[in-house]
Homo-oligomer: A and B are copies of this chain.
Amino acid sequence: MKHFVVGVDVGGTNVKLGLVNTSGKVLSRSSFATQGFIQTPEVLIDAICEAVLALLAKEGCQKSDVEGVGIGLPGLVDVNAGVVRILPNIPGWADVHLKRIMEKKLGLKVRLENDVNMITLGEWEYGAGKGLEDLICMTLGTGVGAGLVLNNRIYRGPGFAAGEIGHAPLSRHGQKCGCGGWGCYERLVGNKRLQKDAARLFAKPDITLEDVYRRAIASKKKAVKFWEEVGERVALGLIGPINILNPECVIVGGGVARSFELMKPSIERTIKKRCMKTQSEMVRLVKARLDDDAGIIGAEVLIRHENK
């Protein structure tokens, strides 16, 4: 019996690893800073492989106990071919046959997934989306994205690019966006915009969203109002996806989700007001539950679903 999966969550800042059992529990963790290993894809791949083996060694795990290694990556991933198409924030990654390379190096089954989809798999099976068949799992941070579970399956799209709720325009014109379009939802609720708004509101250029969160928790009126207004904007970009997909649930994760409870009333109020009847009556708004472990736990779901 194979009892474990290794989850690898590749981020622009850190690569996090976890040994996960078949109940989705993380038994052991490790991590390293991505920046030391970005010279070429090969360097990063070697570092990941070493970290996988070191984690297994630390826990006294044999390879024969490991069902597979699931890797979440911040970019476009051809899940079927096992190829990383592009990682926008890690240079040099274009059409890297990561699955094949790592399977050869490790002698273990390797499966790839987009990082947001990996989080979605984790939240769906073990977190805030447990038991549901149709949900949107959104990450609110520097970028704004989502994973979609539809008809009880993850929905990746034929080009593995689905879920980009951050790049629906909310105005005919509006600000230019990094995606090439303009007027995108992400311009309205991405971290950079929120930080700028906070800096202006509090007349403190270096204020962090963390600061504004703490002020709001301490019931400072201006900060409470800030998150309330952010909640309205967060809702604005959810109306379209909710009306189009009629999900049972929107899971809110990512850095900004820390302020979830502060935003929740205004998000819900706006959805109630502006979404269609069936959709707004059905949808629940919940905070992500697995926090930083979601991507690692998702690897267990990815590997197991494939074996079904």
| Chain A: interface size category | 35 or more
CB closest residue in chain B, given A162 = B246
A150→B155 contact, CB < 8 A: yes
Within 8 A of B (CB), among A138-153: 146, 148, 150-151, 153
Does chain B have a CB within 8 A of A96?
no
Closest Cβ of chain B: how far from A151's Cβ, in Å? 6
A305-B220 Cα distance, complex, nearest whole Å: 58
A239→B161 contact, CB < 8 A: no
A282-B157 Cα distance, complex, nearest whole Å: 10
Does chain B have a CB within 8 A of A245?
yes
Known contacts A162-B244, A181-B276, A246-B157; decide if A170 and B167 are in contact (CB<8 Å). Answer: no
Which of B236, B275, B278 makes the CB contact (< 8 A) with A76?
A: B278
Known: A157-B245, A158-B248, A179-B243. 17 other contacts (CB 8 A): A150-B155, A158-B282, A160-B246, A161-B276, A163-B244, A164-B246, A165-B243, A165-B244, A168-B243, A169-B274, A171-B172, A172-B236, A180-B275, A180-B277, A181-B273, A181-B275, A241-B244
14 A–B pairs (Cβ distance < 8 Å), ordered by A: A150-B150, A150-B155, A151-B153, A157-B246, A164-B243, A164-B244, A164-B279, A168-B241, A170-B172, A171-B171, A180-B274, A181-B276, A182-B274, A240-B240
